[in-house]
Amino acid sequence: MKKMILLSGPCVIESYENLRVIALGLKALNQNPRIDFYFKASFDKANRTSLDSYRGPGLEAGMEMLGEIKKEFGYKIITDIHESYQAKTIAKVADVIQIPAFLCRQTDLIVEVAKTDSIINIKKGQFMNPADMRYSVLKAIKTRGGDKAEYSQSEKYNVWLCERGSSFGYGNLVVDMRSLVIMREFAPVIFDATHSVQMPGAGGGKSGGDSSFVPYLAKAAAAVGVDGFFMETHPDPKNALSDGPNMVSLDLLPDLVGKILDIQGVLK
């Protein structure tokens, strides 16, 4: 049976102590034989709404901390990239390099990541037609030696796509479940359940959100059929330094993941 991919961890690295607390809380999920687990945290949040918002420790310090988590817990690691020059440094630690949604069409960025051995997770822009994400996939596949006829074999080339909602007016996102079906024609699809409940710019110089809707969207995506889930988590979301309103509390995450696995089990 194919394992469910799970990408989980804090939105941003706040401190090594906080990172380790969250890593400890995710050990059971990593040990679940039905889950292909990746620990997620960003070393930099380069697209914060305000210049005054916390961004993270930066590339060198951030990757060093993620490397320590990988060494201690044996976790596979996923983190974001923002500039092309960062690819080689990130790839020394990260098993998956994530292209942020706002940068999903940035050719140079995709190409540089595709030159590494890491899996590429390309987040669909909130402004993108899901059918057009095939072209971002093709950029990676062609860089890795494939051709246009092989975009449906993206798993072979270690390229994933990630759904995180679409802009619905100002300060709101919705999830069109059709996009999961459409994008799955081009690549394995990860459903980002936490960013999909984000309310961009609704927090007075930062993004708001409503994490109470995360379980509903996640279970709906499981019923539609996806290859994995992205769910950010924190022991105290209300006091998190980034995306707190969207994140699932660390103590509630295992139960939600269990329900998703149950849905997948029924479908299979």
What would the pLDDT profile of 40-86 be if each residue is shown by its tens digit? 999 998 887 778 788 999 999 999 999 999 999 999 999 999 999 99
Give the pLDDT confidence score for residue 208 in this predicted structure: 79
DSSP state of 68: H
Q: What value does the CA radius of gyration of the chain take, rounded to a whole number of Å?
A: 17
How is domain 4-267 classified at the CATH fold level? TIM Barrel (3.20.20)
**CA–CA dist 186, 111 (Å, integer):** 18
pLDDT at 131 over 80: yes
Give the pLDDT confidence score for residue 204 in this predicted structure: 60
DSSP state of 156: G
Question: What's the chain's average pLDDT?
Answer: 94
Give the pLDDT confidence score for residue 266 in this predicted structure: 93
**CA–CA dist 81, 46 (Å, integer):** 9
pLDDT at 261 over 70: yes
Q: What is the pTM of this model?
A: 0.95
The answer to whether the CB of 190 falls within 8 A of the CB of 227 is yes
pLDDT digits (tens, 9 = 90+) for 193-219: 999 999 887 666 657 789 999 999 999
- Using the structure block, give the residue that is written with the tokens 């590339």: 59
The set of residues, in sequence order, having a beta carbon less than 8 Å from that of 64 and lying 6+ positions away, is none
The set of residues, in sequence order, having a beta carbon less than 8 Å from that of 57 and lying 6+ positions away, is 13, 43, 44, 65
Domain boundaries, the chain: 4-267
Q: What percentage of residues in the chain have a pLDDT greater than 70? A: 96
Give the pLDDT confidence score for residue 141 in this predicted structure: 94
Residues in the chain: 268
* Dihedral sign for Cα atoms in the order 186, 214, 239, 75: negative
**CA–CA dist 32, 60 (Å, integer):** 31
* Dihedral sign for Cα atoms in the order 70, 72, 75, 80: negative
Mean per-residue pLDDT, 182-186 = 95
